[in-house]
Each structure stands twice: as structure tokens, then as C-alpha cells.
Amino acid sequence: MPFYSKRDLEFQLFENLQILELTQLNYFEDHSNETFHMVLEAAEKIAENSLHPLLTEMDRNEPQLVNGKIQVHKGMKKIIQQFGADGWINATFPYVEGGQQLPNTLHMAAGFIFQAANYSASVYPFLTTGAANLIRTFGGKNLIDKFTPNMYSGKWQGTMALTEPDAGSSLSDLSTMAIPTEIEGVYKIKGQKIYISCGDHDACENIIHLMLARIKGAPVGVKGISLFIVPQKRVPDGRPNDVLTEGIYHKMGYKGAPIAHLMIGSNDACEGFLVGEANKGLAYMFQMMNEARVGVGMNAAAIGTAAYYASLAYAKERPQGRKIGDKDPSQPQIPIIQHADVKRMLLFQKSITEGALSLLLYCSKLGDIAHVGDGKEKEEAFLLLDFLTPIAKSYPSEMCCLTTSTAVQVLGGAGYTTDFPVEQYYREARIHPIHEGTTGIHGMDLLGRKATMQEGKALKLFVREISKTILQAKDMPAITSHGEKLEKYLQRAQQTVGYLFTKAGKNPEAYLADATLFLEYTGILTIAWQWLKQGITVQKQLDKGVAETSFYQGKIICLRYFFEYELVKMDGLGKRLMAADMPTLDMQDDWF
């Protein structure tokens, strides 16, 4: 059963996003249409041959903590080694570090394929990439040499160790302690970390934690947080480093990836290595976090895509019922895809997942330009990406809980059983609105920080880019009306933001009380914009009279669907955002 559409991914990258433009940047100059396609084909191969076959098995045989060690599915070791051997873990890093200078956009596209095939399995190597990236970006040469080669090869696992029992959304409260030793850069670490993805397992020989801790005497709050490398086993001799696995979390979904509860330095024998400067840990982490957050959006879109294709395959094959007005029970039943309501459920999934994918790849491209581009283009890409990040993280995360639910609904009773994969996708999708910052946190980030930073410069860029797309669409007769419609919604959105800003100074709590709704509102606008972009790309092809019309026709219907069924949701949200009544502020704790 297909778990993604190669045709759509190629459309998104090569036709809609014009990914080949990136090869004009020096860093990517060796790349070409050919290398990009090779990367995608290689990704598809691993996904089909190694990842997807374990999808169900890994869900049914979840990791277990046995004698202080987490045991994961036996197949993971080979998969991680293959990721290492094929160069996926450090694919985007410079040649001089053994990487391939692959655009992050391509890495994300490959990740999309992996995640759609088997989200749990994809987690391991992607975490290592993120952790290694922190070391190579902020660590000194000795740390890079000591840790990264075995991470790149897949021999060692990398993690991000942030959360503590008292510090989840509120990282400023973290209390893991780092005490200087006589060796410069080496600290004794003591504390505990919870919810650490891949925090311990037996598919790698060592676990390298990128851990936030507070150097003794450091300022309270976020200004006193430093970043450390804390290996599970000491390097190079492999002795234990006093990082004990206290527990494993059993969870609703993506059961194949273990989540650990770690005790660090319980015997005062844990050593950690300061990365970069003291007290800059959170800043370092956040520079990487943007990528991780776009990555979470991608995970969600990938799971949503896999569920969409599972439900599409079922809808094409399952006969049930007859057309409205044709109830003759002696006639054969029709495949359910022919019912308008089933088409609606499929179009909902298609419009959300392809709209989200479009945004996520667009953000990835901005990330590449922000990373290795030049001048004003680089600066603007950075700013726009910063603005879009909470949307790119949250819109797919929230909406793919709904699209996977719709996939279950297409299958009906069958979808609720473990005989089909959609119930697993439904459970797996649910993590994304939570990790890497909850939706509520991202709402406050968007309205409280991103919308106002640099005197609204990022917001203005966002509006400018949407306006460009609107202008283009209005020039194309077949989609003029969609351009005009989006223009109206954009204007209304600007009024809404203007109104909210008037609250900001007077009453910050009221200003931010509905930040989550504002995030949803802006998310819908953003995805409508992405659909209009796709519509322009498609309409150009149709206007040329291309032979392959069914794919493009499907896109145009999807554009219409999104504008008819999703964009209109801004009406109610907008009305609420402009309203004066604030029941959530008036509600008292003891009235519940």
C-alpha cells in the first residue's frame, strides 16, 4: 500500500518550490536535478524496504526496560547503521566534515518519506542529526572529533535532553546542576531528565545526550542555562558515566521509539562537557530548535499523508451503498469513493496534508537560504522563517490529528480495528501538538513575539509574500476569484492583528488569552496562501495544455476545497478574536 505520493513530492519540490534555484548558491553548487532525484529515490528505497515493513511490528512490540537497559525492536540496529552508512545522518553538513552539503530541503523531503513509512524508526537517526549539529556548530574541535564521527556512522545515538519533572514548557525552571572540575570544560552533572526520546536503547553502542544544565552559581532563569555533552558511556574507554535509566514511558503511539526517564550523576560520577560558552545553552538550543520544530510539522504531515493514502486505497476498493437516488438493491454496490461525503473526507485529508507539505518545504528552503545564502535575501529568509516556524510546527500537528481521524472515519468500523494501519496513525499523530513546544506555547510565540519583533518587520514580510502570490493569481483568469478571496481574508487578518495590538500594552493577559486561536487563524491563512501558490503553478501547466491533467485537476479541486471548506473557518475565528468578552479571563479556578 502506498504511504506517500512520489508524484506530489516531486511536484512540490521541482515545480512548485523551484528547488533547483538552490543550486545557484555556492554551498549547493555541486548539486543538480539529478543528485536531488537520486536522493529521493534512495530515500524511497530505504523507506519501502527497511522502514515500512516494520511499521506494525514496532507498534505491537514496544520497547521494554530490562535490567536497567531499554531494549528496542531488533531491526532498529540495522536501520540506524544503514542510515549512517548511506550518509543520511550528516548529509546536510559541509564536505570538510564528511557531509554532502545537501540542502536541508532535500533532507526534509527524504525525512518526509521516512516518517510516512515508519515514524518511530525515523526518529532515531533524525535525533542524532540534530544533536550532532549542535556539537559541530557550537562545540570546539576536540568535542567534534571526539563525538561526531560515531554519531554520523550510526554507531552512537544523539539526543536532546531538556525536560525535567519541574521544567517542561517552563524551561527557565530547570535545575540539573553542573559543577566545575579541575579540568577545563569538564563538569560533574547531577539531576534528572524525563521524556528523553531515544534516551537509552540497545540499537546503538553509546548515547550522546545534548543536555541543558545550570552551572553552580549561574543566574536563575533562562540566563543561567548551559549546554553539555553527557555521554552514557565515557569516551573512549566505554566505562559507565553514571547516567542511569530510571524508567521508560509507555505511550499511546509511536511506540517503536523509546522515551526514557534518566537519573544523571546519582553516584556523583557523571561527567559532562560544556558546549560553547557558559550560560548560552538555551540560545544554542533555540537556534537548532527552529529546524526541529519545522521537523515536527513534517512528521505530522507525513503521518497524515500515510493515513490519507491508506484511506484512499480502502475507499477505492470497498463497495458499500449506492448513489443518491439510485437505491435499487438488486444493483451492485459502488466503491465508497463515489459518495460525495467520502470524497469530502478524502479532499479534507489531501488539502491539509499537501497544503502543509507545501508550507514545510517552503520553510525548509527559507532555512537553506538563511543558512548559506547572502545579503538581504538571507536576512529576509531568516526573518520570515522565524515568523512561520510556530505555524509550520503547529498547523500540521493540530490538523493531522484531525486528518488521521478522518482516515479512520473513511474506513468506518474497520478503521477502528488493528487490522488496518489508520488507528496507529491516529495514535501517532497525537504527539505532535505536544512535543517541541505545545500549541499553546507556539500561539504565544507567534502573537507575543514573532508578530511584533523588529517592529513588525517579519509580519510585514509575511504579508508582502502573500500579497505577491495574490497579485499573480489575480492575473490568471481561472483562479482570479481565489486570489480576490484570499486578498479579502488577508485584509481582514491585518485588521484583526491591528485590533489585537491595541490590547497588547493595556492588558497583556487579554492580548495573549486567545493566542492559540490566533495561531489557528493565521495557520489557515498561510495554508490558503500555499494552495494559491500551488494553484498558480498548476494553472500555468493547464494553460499550456499539458497532457497529464488528472494530477493537476486534482490540485485545482483541492485548492477550491480548501477555500470553500477551510478558509471560511477564519470567519468564526476572526469574529472571536475581535470580540470584547473574555470568559477565559473571568473564569475562576473554583468555578470549574
Classify 220 as helix, strand or coil: coil
Question: Binding segment for a copy of itself among 144-152, 274-282, 459-467, 545-553 (CB under 8 A)?
Answer: 545-553
φ/ψ (deg, to 5) at 190: -150, 125
Which residue type occupies 380?
A: E
What torsion, rounded to 10 degrees, do the Cα atoms 131, 136, 140, 143 define?
50
Q: Establish if 492 lies at the interface with a copy of itself (CB under 8 A).
A: no
Judged by CB under 8 A, does residue 306 bind a copy of itself?
Answer: no
Query: CB under 8 A: which stretch of 198-206, 233-241, 341-349, 372-380 binds a copy of itself?
Result: 341-349
Report the distance separating Cα 179 and Cα 217, nearest Å.
9
C-alpha cell at 357: 507539505
DSSP label of 53: G
Least distance to a copy of itself, CB of residue 528, Å: 13
Q: Which has the closest alpha carbon to 300: 429, 492, 108, 158? A: 429
Q: Which of 163, 282, 257 is nearest to 204 (CA)?
A: 257
Q: List the one residue from 401, 486, 493, 532 that touches a copy of itself (CB under 8 A).
A: 401
- 251 vs 371 by CB, closer to a copy of itself: 251
Among 84, 130, 415, 535, binds a copy of itself (CB under 8 A): 415
Residues 121, 81: Cα–Cα separation, whole Å: 12
Our finding on whether 7 is near a copy of itself (CB under 8 A) is no
User: Binding a copy of itself by CB under 8 A: which of 49, 267, 418, 494?
Assistant: 418
Q: Contact, 400 vs 304, CB < 8 A?
A: yes
Q: Binding of a copy of itself at residue 412 (CB under 8 A)?
A: yes
Binding map of a copy of itself across residues 255-274, x = CB under 8 A, - = no contact: ----x---------------
Q: Shortest distance, CB of residue 353 to a copy of itself, whole angstroms?
A: 12
Q: 194 in helix, strand or coil?
A: strand
Nearer to a copy of itself by Cβ, of 34 and 590: the residue is 590
Contact by Cβ (8 Å): 313, 275: no
Cα(427)–Cα(413) distance, integer angstroms = 16
DSSP annotation string for 504-535? HHH-HHHHHHTHHHHHHHHHHHHHHHHHHHHH
Q: How far apart are CA 305 and CA 283, in angstroms?
A: 33
**For the range 565-569, what are the long-range contacts, defined as Cβ-Cβ under 8 Å and sequence gap of 24 or more?**
565/344, 565/347, 565/348, 565/351, 566/351, 566/352, 566/524, 566/527, 566/528, 567/485, 567/486, 567/489, 567/524, 567/525, 567/528, 569/524
433, 483, 523, 535: residue in contact with a copy of itself (rule CB under 8 A): 433
Looking only at the bridges linking them, the beta strands covering 69-71 and 186-197 are unpaired
| 175 contributes a contact to a copy of itself by CB under 8 A | no
173 binds a copy of itself (CB under 8 A): yes
Q: Which three cell numbers stand for residue 250?
A: 509507555
- Please identify which residue in 26, 33, 49, 170 interacts with a copy of itself, judged by CB under 8 A: 170
* Chosen residue from 1, 252, 471, 546 binding a copy of itself by CB under 8 A: 252
Count of positions (residues) in the chain = 592
C-alpha span between 349 and 347 (Å, rounded) = 5
Tell me: does residue 431 bind a copy of itself (CB under 8 A): yes
Span from 133-141, 465-473, 505-513, 528-536 in contact with a copy of itself (CB under 8 A): 505-513
- For a copy of itself, the binding residue among 145, 166, 374, 484 (CB under 8 A) is 166
Residue from 73, 430, 450, 533 in contact with a copy of itself (CB under 8 A) = 430
Rule CB under 8 A: is residue 220 a binding residue for a copy of itself? yes
Subset of residues 35 to 94 that bind a copy of itself, contact rule: CB under 8 A: none
CB of 403 to a copy of itself, least distance (A): 13
For residue 333, the minimal CB distance to a copy of itself (Å) is 6
Asked if residue 216 binds a copy of itself (CB under 8 A), the reply is no
CA distance 24 to 34: 15
Q: Please pick, from the candidates 435, 457, 492, 503, the single residue that binds a copy of itself as defined by CB under 8 A.
A: 435
Instruction: Dihedral sign for Cα 36, 42, 48, 54, please.
Output: negative
Nearest to 100 by CA among 116, 117, 87: 87
Among 68, 236, 325, 498, binds a copy of itself (CB under 8 A): 325
Identify the residue among 92, 118, 163, 241 touching a copy of itself (CB under 8 A): 163
CB 360 within 8 A of CB 396: yes
Q: Which of residues 553-582 bind a copy of itself (CB under 8 A)?
A: 553-554, 557-558, 560-561, 564-565, 568-573, 575-576, 579, 581
CA–CA dist 327, 78 (Å, integer): 54
Active-site residue flag, 277: no
Distance CA 553, CA 535 (A): 10
Nearer to a copy of itself, 236 or 583 (CB): 583
* Region for 456 from its dihedrals, namely left if φ exceeds 0, alpha if ψ lies in -120 to 50, beta otherwise: left
For the bound state, the minimum distance from the C-beta of residue 300 to a copy of itself, rounded and expressed in Å, comes to: 14
Q: Could you say which of 77, 155, 234, 339 contacts a copy of itself (CB under 8 A)?
A: 339
What is the DSSP-derived secondary structure letter of residue 101?
A: -
Residue 592 corresponds to which amino acid? Answer: F
- The active-site residue out of 354, 436, 520, 566 is 436
Q: How far is the CB of 483 from a copy of itself (least distance, A)?
A: 15
- Contact with a copy of itself (CB under 8 A) among 118, 305, 353, 439: 439
For residue 95, the minimal CB distance to a copy of itself (Å) is: 38
Ranges within 232-251 binding a copy of itself (CB under 8 A) = 249-251
Which residues are registered as beta bridge partners of 261? 247
In the region spanning residues 442 to 461, those forming contacts with a copy of itself, defined by CB under 8 A, are 443-444
Residue 427 makes contact with a copy of itself by CB under 8 A: yes
User: CA-CA distance, 560 to 531, in Å (whole number)?
Assistant: 9
Question: Does 508 sit near a copy of itself (CB under 8 A)?
Answer: yes
Q: Is 350 in the site for a copy of itself (CB under 8 A)?
A: yes
Q: Work out whether 509 is an interface residue with a copy of itself (CB under 8 A).
A: yes
> Closer to a copy of itself at the Cβ: 182 or 328?
328
Contact range with a copy of itself by CB under 8 A, out of 74-82, 180-188, 271-279, 336-344: 336-344
Which amino acids are annotated catalytic? 436
